[in-house]
């Protein structure tokens, strides 16, 4: 992959030299770098805020209350996991982070959940049903507050950065339903073979 990116960069600079646009290409590269750094710094603030809120929720017991609220759903989705297991707690924290639209800040929680699920899978090279279900739920999660996307739209100068909330609810709910349904169907097919 690195060779592809390096090739594309070299090709673009070679094209800029031959077309006489080297100054414009260099200026665009520096402007793009500056914009990327500014965006990273603004997203870092959002990540720090949500990570802190999650830590407060964990220490205050809010995560446990949220886990109890989600327990009817998590029992259906993860029937083999114990209610208060480390894997279930990590899954609930990841689900909560995704619902709050924390995106990159939810990644460490997802990795922790997958690590706990791998421990229960005894290091098998084949993913368990719970691991597959978690990946689908993590990928197609419902975002109640898409804070990262709203921040990106705000930084890009959107007049109404929050107007995407309802379409995101509809799209994320639809993808979650389709994803979970497909996993359940494939789990039944696997059991019957």
115 close to 165: Cβ distance less than 8 angstroms:
no
Over residues 26-46, the mean pLDDT reads 82
- Residue of higher predicted confidence among 180 and 84: 180
In 10 A of CB 18, how many CB atoms?
9
Which DSSP category does 129 fall into?
A: H
pTM for this predicted structure = 0.69
Over residues 155-161, the mean pLDDT reads 85
Q: How confident is the model at residue 182 (pLDDT cuts 50, 70, 90)?
A: very high
Over residues 103-122, the mean pLDDT reads 83
Alpha-carbon gap, residue 63 to 73, rounded angstroms: 15
Q: Which two tokens stand for residue 119?
A: 């421990």
pLDDT of amino acid 107: 80
- Helices vs. strands in the chain: H and E counts, helices first: 8, 0
Over residues 71-81, the mean pLDDT reads 86
Alpha-carbon gap, residue 103 to 90, rounded angstroms: 15
Over residues 126-138, the mean pLDDT reads 90
Distances (CA, A) of 113 to 19, 47, 125, 145, 146: 51, 19, 17, 22, 22
pLDDT of amino acid 105: 67
pLDDT of amino acid 136: 92
- Crossing angle between the packed helical segments 62-77 and 22-60, to the nearest 10 degrees: 100
Q: How confident is the model at residue 193 (pLDDT cuts 50, 70, 90)?
A: low
pLDDT of amino acid 178: 94
């Amino acid at each position: 992959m690195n060779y592809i990116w390096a090739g594309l960069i070299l090709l673009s600079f070679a094209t800029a030299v031959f077309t006489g646009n080297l100054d414009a290409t260099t200026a665009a590269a520096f402007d793009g770098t500056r914009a990327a750094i500014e965006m990273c710094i603004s997203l870092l603030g959002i990540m720090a805020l949500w990570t802190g809120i999650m830590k407060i929720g964990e220490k205050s017991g809010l995560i446990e209350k949220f886990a109890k609220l989600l327990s009817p759903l998590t029992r259906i989705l993860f029937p083999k996991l114990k209610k208060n297991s480390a894997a279930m707690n990590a899954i609930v924290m990841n689900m909560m982070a995704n619902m709050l639209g924390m995106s990159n800040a939810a990644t460490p929680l997802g990795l922790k959940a997958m690590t706990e699920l791998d421990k229960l899978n005894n290091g098998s090279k084949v993913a368990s049903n719970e691991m597959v279900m978690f990946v689908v739920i993590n990928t197609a999660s419902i975002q109640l507050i898409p804070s990262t996307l709203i921040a990106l739209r705000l930084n890009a100068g959107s007049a109404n950065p929050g107007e995407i909330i309802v379409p995101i609810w509809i799209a994320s709910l639809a993808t979650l339903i389709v994803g979970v349904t497909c996993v359940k169907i494939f789990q039944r097919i696997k059991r019957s073979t």
